[in-house]
Amino acid sequence: MDVTATAVFVALFLLITAIGFLAGRWRRGDLTQLHEWGLGGRRFGTLVTWFLLGGDLYTAYTFIAVPALVYGAGAIGFFAVPYTILVYPLLYLAFPRLWTIAHRHGYVTASDFVRGRFGNRWLALAVGVTGIVATMPYIALQLVGMQVVIGALGFPAGGWVGDLPLVIAFVILAAFTYSSGLRAPAMIAVVKDLLIYLTVFAAIIVIPAHLGGYGQVFSAVEAKKLLLAAPGPGSLGSYSAYATLAFGSALALFLYPHSFTAVLSSSSAQVIRRNAAILPAYSLVLGLLALLGFMAVAVGVAHMPQFAAGFAEYRNNYAVPALLLASFPSWFVGIAFAAIAIGALVPAAIMSIATANIFTRNIYREFINPRCTDAQESQVAKLVSLLVKAGALVFIFALDVPYALQLQLLGGVWIIQVLPSVLLGAYLRRLNGWALLIGWAVGTGIATAMAASLGFKAAIYPLHILGVTVPCFIAVSSLAVNLIVSLLLSLVFDPFSRRSRAGLVILRDAA
């Protein structure tokens, strides 16, 4: 065990734990109200929202999974850079409208919007359950990031002794989330982002300088990994895989419950527009982080004694921690590892809060106890947030994937199925709730069948179209079927439906 790195890591972890518990006193509100506990009272301004969304969207996916994919698979891993650029015009155009509707009608979740817009409790339930299911592997990805860092500090890999630090981190996360709600990750996100920027800029300057420049970094990487492989005869190969990964991930990102929650916690629609303009600064950091995968190849982390001795089970996910261990003194390694762990902790907290909001508002209050008080609703949400974290722990202990990134992609193939109900539902008047529900069921079924055929270990499914093989992100192909079914059935059902006056009022209010 690296005692110095571990001491720095623990000290910073204790600091953010203290901040998490103190956050409940920041911008005081009645935490027995769900909108106060789960949305921070909808009072976050531009700067806090920027840190919160950055902490929410740039996660262990960014710091562990993307560089790991670049390290193991090469250029295909850079799909994450264009997708985070594509997503911000969508944020600017669509989500101020959704914020306005949610603020005016007191909505806490996307399912609340769907329930009000279409008057269909079963469609709202489908959207809510999809959000919970899709978020579980995403939370698991955050815990994988923490697991890798804890292992890299020198704790045993595997077994209950190796899992114990992760369980302790989970308990701490559960405790301050329970007590402070969304205010805790909002405050911690500030510390997390400062540590991440420090780590990234140190890495992109120090490591290439040590290796002899970026030319030496790229020359150490196999030529076939520097560029996407050219498609063979009768196939679009990695080109279509790259394009659909970027496009599908962009469409899915802000449909996740944690993204929606962070958006609704903003104080105004204008705050969302400002953040759509300044959040691309994080895309620059993401591109730099992806390069760490190539730097890990140049340093030769696969041949490090620690990797060979005890961390082989982490495979490519260990690339960035191994790179940092090989390149920096122990005290800075402790800072960098703390940044990665906190970068996993913040989104995990937001995700657990978001899924708890869904269960409480759209399942418990809608189907189980419609007469519950606001205080009871908030208490149930706090308890469910604990269960969600426990479920994510079980998820990572039970499921083995070669790349941590697959956990996020699996979530994407499910959450994108709510796009017709949420995004199109905010604009198109003639959509029918039952048609959308059938489209969701068809899209989800196809997506799950495709993922199952790949053993839930990959997200690119080869489609065979007119004699051409088109490797495609499952989320995109299944969404296409979902949209076709939803739109066609809406045309069929529309003459026989009683249009919801409340739904039309919602659209008129947002105009």
Provide the CATH number for the domain around residue 220. 1.20.1730.10
pLDDT at 403: 47
Range of weakest confidence among 67-76, 86-95, 167-176: 167-176
422 in a domain, yes or no?
no
**What six digits make up the tokens of 38?**
């789960």
- Enclosing domain of residue 78: 3-230+242-400
Please tell me the distance from the alpha carbon of residue 280 to that of residue 86, in angstroms, as a whole number.
10
- Is residue 310 over pLDDT 50? no
Residue 117 belongs to a domain = yes
Q: What is the Cα–Cα distance from 349 to 352, expressed in whole angstroms?
A: 5
- Nearest C-alpha neighbor of 333 from the set 162, 207, 160: 207
CA–CA distance, 110 with 2 (Å, rounded to integer):
45
The SS3 assignment for 461 reads strand
pLDDT of residue 501: 60
Token duo for residue 178: 């329970």
Look up the pTM and report it. Answer: 0.88
Arithmetic mean of pLDDT, 109-120: 92
Q: Kindly tell me if the per-residue pLDDT of 396 is higher than 70.
A: no
The average pLDDT across 128-148 equals 83
In a domain, 467, yes or no: no
Write out pLDDT tens, residues 335-391: 988 888 888 888 888 888 999 999 999 999 999 999 888 889 888 998 888 888 777
Question: For 249-303, what is each residue's pLDDT tens digit?
Answer: 999 989 999 899 989 999 999 999 999 998 888 888 888 888 988 998 888 876 6
Average pLDDT along the chain: 84
Mean pLDDT within 79-104: 90
CA 58 to chain centre: 8
Q: In this model, does residue 306 exceed pLDDT 70?
A: no
122-131, 149-158, 396-405, 444-453: least confidently modelled range? 396-405
Amino acid in the structure at residue 294: F
pLDDT confidence of residue 300:
80
The answer to whether residue 306 is domain-embedded is yes
Q: Do residues 113 and 428 make contact, with C-beta atoms less than 8 angstroms apart?
A: no
- Look at the chain and report how many structural domains it folds into: 1
Is 3 or 126 the better-scoring residue by pLDDT? Answer: 126
> DSSP readout, 65-80?
IHHHHHHHH-GGGGGH
Structure confidence at residue 439 (pLDDT): 97
Q: Beta partners for 469?
A: 235, 464
| Tens digits of residue pLDDT in 159-196 | 666 667 777 777 887 888 888 888 888 888 888 888 88
Residue 434 lies in a domain: no
Mean pLDDT of 27-44: 82
Report whether 334 contacts 7 (CB < 8 A): yes
Residue 132 one-letter amino acid = I
Asked whether residue 324 is domain-assigned, the answer is yes
- Please determine, for residue 314, whether its predicted confidence score (pLDDT) is greater than 70: no
Q: What is the pLDDT of residue 339?
A: 87
Phi, psi dihedral angles at 473 (to 5 degrees): -60, 125
Q: Is the pLDDT of residue 450 over 90?
A: yes
Highest-confidence range of 143-147, 201-205, 444-448, by mean pLDDT? 444-448
Is position 491 within any domain?
no
Residues 280, 29 contacting (CB under 8 angstroms)? no
Cα–Cα dist 443/413, whole Å: 9
Evaluate whether residue 487 is within a structural domain: no
Task: Tell me how far apart the alpha carbons of residues 127 and 121 are, in angstroms, rounded to a whole number.
Answer: 10
Q: Which residue has the higher pLDDT, 170 or 510?
A: 170
CA 286, CA 422: separation in Å to the nearest integer?
28
What does the alpha-carbon distance between residue 6 and residue 13 come to, in Å, rounded to a whole number? 10
